[in-house]
Structure 1
Amino acid sequence: MSRPLSHPALAAADPELAALVDAEERLQTETLRLIPSENYVSTAVLEATGTVLQNKYSEGYAGRRYYEGQQNIDRVERLAADRAKAVFGVEHANVQPYSGSPANLAVYLAFAEPGDTVMGMALPMGGHLTHGWGVSATGKWFRGVQYGVRADTARIDFDEVRDLALKERPKLIFCGGTAVPRTIDFAAFAEIAREVDAVLVADIAHIAGLVAGGAHPSPVPHADVISTTTHKTLRGPRGAMLMSREQYAKPLDKAVFPGLQGGPHNHTTAAVAVALHEAAQPSFRDYAHAVVANAKALAEQLLARGFDLVSGGTDNHLILMDLTPKEVPGKIAAKALDRAGIVVNYNTVPFDTRKPFDPSGIRIGTPSLTSRGLGTEHMPQVADWITRGVEAAGAGDEDALGTVRAEVAELMAAHPAPGLVADPS
């Protein structure tokens, strides 16, 4: 039996596009999504992104707009900002940034001048492009210097970070990244930032949901500015927020608008408000702690199966695997696992000898499977599928990948995803 399209108006207006959306819904329903930056949002968040708030232009901020007719929009934006302040315990929140990279760029505009020195984790070590990496605008317009991790532990050496900061005297120091499997020591970064009179920016895009749910230490007591996306572990729409102490509010707000953006995306702001309301519920705390418990359990199972995990495991939602001992490159493994219904991304590992587009590792995480209700009791099965998938990739065994895919689909059918049609038939 074929599943009916879940967007009848779209299907009537544009059946080609509707079919693609339906195909993506099927894919997300039937596969085991292990990309750590992905998740499932609730039906309520999905509905909020599709409201008539899409129809509004609202340049400016609540109570200070350049367009009339903002009575309801102002209340929506204030609601989202107030909820962000309550959930994270911050003094100021700006919910207008379109996404994480523009949010980070606003931080540069607020506190640095072109050519100033900025410091962040090197991209191959787990950092983010917008932390001053050379190919990014932040590395082209500013002088980026990077810290890394120790070769023996794959963890940050704060003596080295301090020495680099004292030598380079950066205006901004970023902490956080895209492939950091261990707890971020915000207090240690803050001490170094104070010593060199730098603004400390905690980029918690990956771990915001864990922070909100009390499953990761908060940067709020330590960081001057906090940047985050609103999706990933926070389970909101594709957007971003900037949070800070009150003393940094004006330069940040001016950097977002009019510095970088025009009118905010009000439908996204509404969905952010919904996600933050959900994050304030006791069930969200249970979810956040389950994400970490699942990741730790999965890491233990993978180690038992002979996988090399960067830093030896994880403290959060993310696991970075070096497949060099398995003699299967990360890209080949990721594509094979995709054919097996297990969605990961290939990723560089610290001190990788392979090229970024053909690296040694894969990056996996547990937010999506946790949102589907999988628990630690399922992690041996997930580890077994990953093991069989990587082995099949090395052997070129497509039949084995097909077998895994069928098994994955069966388990996924028993655990419907939030926001998706429950019946995958």
Structure 2
Amino acid sequence: MRQTREDPVTTSENRRPALTATDPELAALVTAEERLQADTLRLIPSENYVSAAVLEASGTVLQNKYSEGYPGKRYYEGQQIIDQVETVAVERATSLFGMDHANVQPYSGSPANLAVYLAFLQPGDTVLGMSLPMGGHLTHGWGVSATGTWFRGVQYGVRRDTGRIDLDEVRDLALAERPKVIFCGGTAVPREIDFAGFAEIAEETGAVLVADIAHIAGLIAGGAHPSPAPYADVVSTTTHKTLRGPRGAMLLSRAEHARAIDRAVFPGLQGGPHNQTTAAIAVALKEAATPGFSAYAHQVVANARALGEELASRGFDLVSGGTDNHLLLIDLTGKDVPGKIAAKALDRAGIVVNYNAVPYDPRKPFDPSGIRIGTPALTSRGIPASEMGTVAEWIDRVVVAARTGDETVVEKVRAEVRTLMDAYPAPGLPVG
């Protein structure tokens, strides 16, 4: 029988007796977060639920080890087991993504991307990446990032009429600016990335092509998105999001770049790896190689497309007209509600999204015109495409309520969301 919040099995004291005894305040906060994740419809594209196995691996005694260096070449003794853990993770990563080499030590996605700069560029060199307001990432050379401060960032965007990347513009910029590194990928890109097209441009201009697949790694692993492996010199990714692993990162590369990548990560940017995270990455990679995960990845895309169609039918303006992956970017200008106000109203209704700039947004980044939503977490709960009409209806009702100030609607939707979440319990959570 599925556990409920009243079931004593789910109490903090039983699940975390040591933490509860030592720091009951923190134990209570963790329990509250569990309940929040169980009760809410999480639509932030970069969030997901890890499995119980990944969660367990993240909290093991591997935490106790310092392991500077790489398997067989450590600066500390006592690494007999740690070397095996990291080797397993590396072998699973290269097998799953079809790359020659993998480094599983980066602490997060931004440090992983910074390692790319250290491996291939000198301060002041030019890097070409997608503009942040157009859907790119801070670390692709944007001005407020270290990557735009220490290096010369040049940005491409999307077409006004289609909301899609214009590879002719990318080529023209690359030929004019001659970047040493070209990034493809981003944080708010709802369409498939043409890795082959970017590779042609990189080859023509002599640039290193880096595919940042942080958002779509799980879709690629599951066969629901084309792979960059045949085209990119380096692939950068986080290990959570659609991949459903712990908060960490990986760099994969062709064999000729392995030494440069490894030296950039350690000793270039960081010391000892987080071994408990490495173990959890290994578990997630094993899970991602299963038929069940492939079915999950394809369902993520099916749910996103279904949700996009339902929202479009209710008058929502979808950037690029829809999605090919897990993500939808919505311009709320036509709804006469700023993205931040809509996101906060949705949060009160138990629907968790993030406010987000849209291409050519006239509003400021902290108060933008859009919201960004995605289907990885709800798909992990087993919610099918047939429920996307309900989700779209909730979003529509709350956005209207945000404009009119009708909190009664928000409260009603909150109750309805909780009922649906009870019907689809989240994996890895000890509460229903």
Q: Which amino acid aligns with 2:57?
A: A
Cα separation, 2, equivalents of 1:419 and 1:96? 24
- Tell whether 2:175 aligns with 1:166: yes
Q: Which amino acid aligns with 1:38?
A: E
Q: Which amino acid aligns with 1:353?
A: P
Cα separation, 2, equivalents of 1:12 and 1:391? 46
Cα separation, 1, equivalents of 2:208 and 2:150? 18
- Tell whether 2:404 aligns with 1:380: no
Q: Which amino acid aligns with 2:87?
A: R
Runs of 4+ in 1 over 3 A off after TM superposition: none
**How far off its partner does 1:356 sit?**
0.1
Cα separation, 2, equivalents of 1:271 and 1:58? 16
**How far off its partner does 1:422 sit?**
3.8
Cα separation, 1, equivalents of 2:200 and 2:104? 28
Q: Which amino acid aligns with 2:40?
A: T
Which structure 2 residues correspond to residues 110-121 of structure 1 after superposition, within 5 A?
A: 110-121=119-130
Equivalent pairs counted in the alignment come to 423
Aligned to 2:232: 223
- Tell whether 2:59 aligns with 1:50: yes
Could you give the per-residue CA deviations for residues 157-186 of structure 1, whole angstroms, max 9, x where no partner exists? 111110000000000000000000000000
TM-score w.r.t. the length of structure 2 is 0.97
Cα separation, 1, equivalents of 2:258 and 2:264? 10
Of the three residues 233, 257, 270, the one matched with 1:248 is: 257
- Tell whether 2:88 aligns with 1:89: no
Q: Secondary structure at the match of 1:283?
A: helix
Cα separation, 2, equivalents of 1:10 and 1:104? 35
**How far off its partner does 1:45 sit?**
0.3
The question of whether the paired residues in 1 share the 8 Å contact of 2:245 and 2:284 is answered with yes
Aligned to 1:389: 398
**Which ranges of structure 1 fall in alignment gaps of 5 or more residues?**
none
Which structure 2 residues correspond to residues 135-150 of structure 1 after superposition, within 5 A?
A: 135-150=144-159
Q: Which amino acid aligns with 1:149?
A: V
Aligned to 1:209: 218
The question of whether the paired residues in 1 share the 8 Å contact of 2:237 and 2:249 is answered with yes
- Tell whether 2:2 aligns with 1:4: no
Could you give the per-residue CA deviations for residues 39-86 of structure 1, whole angstroms, max 9, x where no partner exists? 000000000000000000000000000000000000000000000011
Q: Secondary structure at the match of 1:410?
A: helix
Alpha-carbon RMSD across the aligned residues, in angstroms, is 0.7
Q: Secondary structure at the match of 2:328?
A: strand
Aligned to 2:417: 408
TM-score w.r.t. the length of structure 1 is 0.99
Aligned to 1:327: 336
Could you give the per-residue CA deviations for residues 353-400 of structure 1, whole angstroms, max 9, x where no partner exists? 000000000000000000000011110000001101101111111111
Cα separation, 2, equivalents of 1:91 and 1:165? 27
Among the aligned pairs, what percent are the same residue? Answer: 76
**How far off its partner does 1:219 sit?**
0.2
**How far off its partner does 1:9 sit?**
1.5
Aligned to 1:125: 134
- Tell whether 2:30 aligns with 1:27: no
Of the three residues 190, 208, 218, the one matched with 1:199 is: 208
Aligned to 1:74: 83
Q: Secondary structure at the match of 2:368?
A: coil
**How far off its partner does 1:191 sit?**
0.3
Cα separation, 2, equivalents of 1:231 and 1:141? 28
Aligned to 1:262: 271
**How far off its partner does 1:8 sit?**
2.0
Aligned to 1:238: 247
- Tell whether 2:280 aligns with 1:284: no
Q: Secondary structure at the match of 2:92?
A: helix
Q: Secondary structure at the match of 1:118?
A: strand
Q: Which amino acid aligns with 1:106?
A: A
Cα separation, 2, equivalents of 1:198 and 1:375? 42
